[in-house]
Copies of this chain bind each other. A is one copy, B any other.
């Protein structure tokens, strides 16, 4: 089994790699040999090779707009291709040409390379595409159903929605077996605070747990759709194993997650870590951020993904516990 991860240096790419490597190490050897796993890790910066991995692993720094690099990556005919690479929302909005250049042209160049190479021989990889809830925008119901129209209100969301359409058409054409996952906001994101407008959803949990202050820029009534990095990795792994026929010509799926208010997040934090840590949450209303967040989906009714076996935490304490277990060696920091 040869797995290519494009965008392997990002948070999800690293966690996915870790999950694949752990499973390989945990699999009992059969007659002296493990199921051989081969990994190719690509990103715009060189991804770290996983420590202790017994299989073949190649790392490559390249861009999706570099045709030679794509030819080389796809020319190896991986069985599974994860496409997690993207210019993020804020940057795609600030830099029109860069966002379209990578998120649309790059995605299409990847799909076209698969098509060209597939024309020459019988090879049909699984392609797992990281889409986003940013494909939704404008007015929508509190719980968005699976058959709701995609009307993104950002260029990033537009590019992801176009990626979904291309994925579905290339899949329908038999060029590859695509699965698109509309990923929820990931919480609790490990690491340092970043400047994403959604960063505070993680910050108000992560920083207090680590004895540091976090800024809350929106009212506690703000409702959002989030799941743990652990669930996101499960989505990516499960997508690689789905029976293509089960997707019924609609290979793009809204992933399950938890619809929860900021106030409920804070209450869960109190239950897990005690009232003391809550003093680290500094309420500093920011109208610009509140306006952006108000345009985001508040919840979904992801029946198709649930029927296909995708699962996510149904309470926020479990999401906090996943952070403590996965990022803090299981001990409250």
Contact = CB atoms under 8 A, between A and B. Distances in A.
A155 interface: yes
A261 interface: no
**Residue of A140, A151, A248, A249 with most chain B CB atoms under a 10 A cut-off:** A151
A249 B149 CA distance: 13
Given A149-B148, A149-B149, A150-B149, A155 B138 contact: no
Interface string A78-116: 000000000000000000100000000000000000010
B158 A166 contact: yes
How many protomers of this protein does the assembly include? 2
A307 to B, nearest CB: 14
Nearest to A99: B169
Interface in A138-177: 138-140, 146-153, 155, 158, 161-162, 165-166, 168-169, 172-173
Contacts of A149: 146-150
A152 B169 contact: yes
A158 B150 contact: no
Interface in A119-145: 137-140
Contacts of A140: 147
Interface in A42-96: 96
A155 B115 CA distance: 14
27 contacts: A96-B115, A96-B173, A137-B249, A138-B248, A138-B249, A140-B147, A146-B149, A147-B148, A147-B149, A148-B148, A148-B149, A149-B150, A150-B165, A151-B249, A152-B165, A152-B169, A153-B172, A153-B249, A155-B173, A158-B166, A158-B168, A158-B169, A161-B165, A162-B162, A162-B165, A162-B166, A165-B165
Shortest 3 CB-CB contacts between residues of A and residues of B? A158-B169, A147-B149, A138-B249
Interface of A: 96, 115, 137-140, 146-153, 155, 158, 161-162, 165-166, 168-169, 172-173, 248-250
